[in-house]
A and B are shown apart, each in its own frame.
Chain A
Amino acid sequence: MTDTQTALPRADIAASARTRRRWNPRSLLSKRESPVVLALLLLVLFTYLANPRFLAPQGLKDLMLNATIMMIMAAGQALIISTRSVDLSVGSALGLTAFLTGTLFATYPSIPIIVVFLAGIAMGAGLGAINGLLVTTARVPAMVITLGTLYVFRGVNSWWAGSTQYFAGDRPDAFGNLSVSLLVGIPIITIIAIIVIAVVTLFQRYSRSGRDLYAIGSDPDAAIVYGIPVGRRVFTAFVTNGALVGLAGVLYASRFNSVGAVTGTGLELQVVAAAVVGGVAIVGGVGTAAGAAIGALLLTTITGALTSVGVDKFWQQAVVGGLILASILIDRLATLRRARNLRKATS
């Protein structure tokens, strides 16, 4: 992998950071996120050329609204996957927090919106903490634990919701307007998402505990030997991801008309796919929240793009599958080339 992503001693990280200050145009091309950004730009460009209405204000707005929730979840998942774990319970956790949002507004109609946001985020973080505790204390693979909590959370959700559904009418207009009103041409929930994703990406890149996550994902044993509190860091990653999913759940209730027992079912693998497309390697140690979010944007955009250029709707999912495969293939080829160049440089 790239030199900045692997677990280097602190001094080396500082040194490489210093050399990185000299801006090198080639470094832009070799970033892990470059292929997905390029693919997104090309997709938007060609779709626009084929059908200019694709980028009309309304089309653009729909594009952003559809991607927002996936983008937040993919950013959270990037944190988890970069530590060589995975969180499959996110779809169920989103369902729970979305239903909590609906319940809060239905029971206390005058509740301040900010309180609902905090409650959703807190609940998400709590669910993440359950996953994190099980994963770090029982020392069993995250994939199995979160597969278990996927079912448990979903069960709790259906027990809680029963056949109850809350509709947009049960919620105050101001809350629904978050996904209708625009600020500088961008829906407010998308702005929230972009800010959150930027913060998470900066945390990953510059904070000590953020760097530790990459070290853990690159080589868990080495991370332990190096003295990184692996359990605490992984736990924090799960809580943070849970909080982000909680936020996504609240925004889901703002964006979509109804929330009920099955809200968010089956989202988990789409979220993982988005992260993978965005350059987050499933084996851990690399990738950024921003990349994962762009991956989510690409995956949601492609459906709209195919529709607006008149591709048969039945082909859309196959194209999405092909795209996921292409992106991991490109990533593999890039890794191989990088390894070859490194070998050439050292010999």
Chain B
Amino acid sequence: MTDTLTPVAAPPALSATRGAISRTLASRPALMTYILLVLLILASTMVPRFAQPRTATFLLLDVVATLLMAMPMTLVMITGDIDLSVASVAGLSSAVMGVLFTGGMPFGGVVLICLLVGLACGLFNGLFTAYVGLPALAVTIGTLALFRGLALVVIGDNAVSNFPPAASAYATGSFGATGIPLVMLPVGLIIVAFAVVLHMTPFGRTLFAMGHSMEAARFVGVNTKRARLLTLMSSGLVSALAGVFWTLRYSSARSDNATGLELVVIAAVVLGGVSVFGGKGSIWGSVCGVLIIGVINYALRLNRIPEVVLVTITGLLLIISVVAPSVVASWSAWRHRRRRAREIDSTITTAGALSA
């Protein structure tokens, strides 16, 4: 079951650059980009009221929380772990934010403490996973309940909504006529930061190595425990930030904010090409995964297509995204075998002709 790495036919020997370019153009992130572009074009031409600045505002605001959580989730899942507690961390951070702000704390301090709470949640997950050696899936199912429970302890049934107008305005505002939300600036910076860490640093390479084989990574000298702790801590921190944004966006701090978002994040990330067994994935792929689901949802909702279809399409996309590569892989493996068989045949005939 666990082995998705079916043998794929080796690419024919091309010149190095042509090989690299065609590989990039055929890679999973590129494929996701094409799908996203096609969807955007289809939606703009076929869905009335889609091609206008307001779409950018609402579509992006809807996906910001998912997009933020998807970044560390990509790292965590590439190392072969998983974090199911992200939505609960967001809920806890939202609850803490509500209580502290009502308690009269200055807004900046409140946000800082929320982020520290998130970091502590990530530390907790990381210590149990990396240092105690428990499977991340089990630990974060536990903390999914625990952090959501703590959110209830902190704020109970209450909802807090009187946040500073400036902060709420920032969370929902956009850059003038472009329609792009103001928050996309910090969110974009965070995406770039995660992309740099994952794809351009030695640390990022070790995450891929760990996903392929934790043991092998340890033998070549990677501090696997620290790396797992750090990725899970980044997940806690960013999830808490997503919780702060969620609170401001819907101007309501409640214990049940972002409930159930963990599976949406994982679905988006997997759609973007991250393997649940680790070792595979990219930040750009995950961004596309989040946006694809966002565009489909938004376009269908503009068409007044009920939630029903949205949910079904999300599920089908997810299934297709994992089934299709394995179908393609087995097809190309079959083609490879057939070509090999033909080559062997022809060698045998030529050898026969020579000896005759």
Please give the residue numbers on chain A whose beta carbons come within 8 Å of chain B beta carbons, in ascending order.
83-86, 88, 134-136, 138-145, 147-156, 158-159, 216, 220-221, 230, 234, 265-266, 269, 272-273, 276, 282-283, 312, 314-322, 324-325, 328-329, 332
Contacts and interface: CB of A to CB of B under 8 A. Distances in A.
Given A140-B4, A321-B147, A324-B141, A147 B318 contact: yes
A134 B149 contact: no
Q: Which 8 A-B pairs have the closest CB atoms?
A: A321-B146, A155-B312, A151-B315, A318-B149, A317-B149, A321-B145, A324-B142, A152-B315
A283 B322 contact: no
Contacts of B259: 266
B149 A276 contact: no
Q: How large is the interface on B (under 10, 10 to 19, 20 to 34, 35 or more residues)?
A: 35 or more
A321 B144 contact: yes
Among A140, A143, A153, A221, which residue has the most Cβ atoms of chain B within 10 A?
Answer: A140
Nearest to A322: B146
B78 interface: no
Contact of A152 (B138, B152, B319): B319
B153 A148 contact: no
Contact of B156 (A140, A216, A314): A314
A134 B316 CA distance: 12
A88 to B, nearest CB: 7
9 contacts: A84-B2, A152-B316, A155-B312, A234-B1, A312-B153, A317-B145, A324-B142, A325-B142, A325-B146
Contacts of A148: 267, 315-319, 322
A147 B314 CA distance: 10
A7 to B, nearest CB: 15
B145 A151 contact: no
Interface in B132-149: 132-135, 137-139, 141-149
Nearest to B276: A141
Interface of B: 1-4, 6, 84, 128, 132-135, 137-139, 141-150, 152-153, 156, 259-260, 263, 266-267, 270, 275-277, 306-319, 322-323, 326-327
Contacts of B260: 265-266
Contacts of A283: 135
B1 A220 contact: yes
A234 B1 CA distance: 9
Contacts of A158: 306-308, 311
Among A143, A155, A315, which residue has the most Cβ atoms of chain B within 10 A?
Answer: A155
B309 A155 contact: yes
A318 B150 contact: yes
A155 B308 contact: yes
A139 B6 contact: yes
Nearest to B322: A140
Contact of A147 (B132, B143, B156, B263): B263
Given A147-B266, A276-B141, A159 B146 contact: no
B1 A141 contact: yes
B149 A147 contact: no
Among A139, A145, A150, A319, which residue has the most Cβ atoms of chain B within 10 A?
Answer: A139
A148 B259 CA distance: 18
B149 A321 contact: yes
B254 to A, nearest CB: 13
A211 B115 CA distance: 48
Contacts of B141: 269, 272-273, 276, 324
A316 B309 CA distance: 35
A135 B309 contact: no
A139 B148 contact: no
A154 B327 contact: no
Given A147-B270, A314-B156, A282 B138 contact: yes
A325 B145 CA distance: 10
B89 to A, nearest CB: 12
Contacts of B138: 276, 282, 324, 328
A93 to B, nearest CB: 13
Among A145, A269, A316, which residue has the most Cβ atoms of chain B within 10 A?
Answer: A269
A317 B135 CA distance: 22
Contacts of A318: 145-146, 149-150, 152-153
Nearest to B152: A314
Given A282-B135, A317-B146, 18 more contacts: A134-B323, A138-B322, A141-B1, A155-B308, A221-B3, A230-B1, A234-B1, A314-B149, A314-B152, A315-B149, A317-B148, A317-B152, A318-B150, A321-B145, A321-B147, A321-B148, A325-B128, A328-B139
Nearest to B124: A325
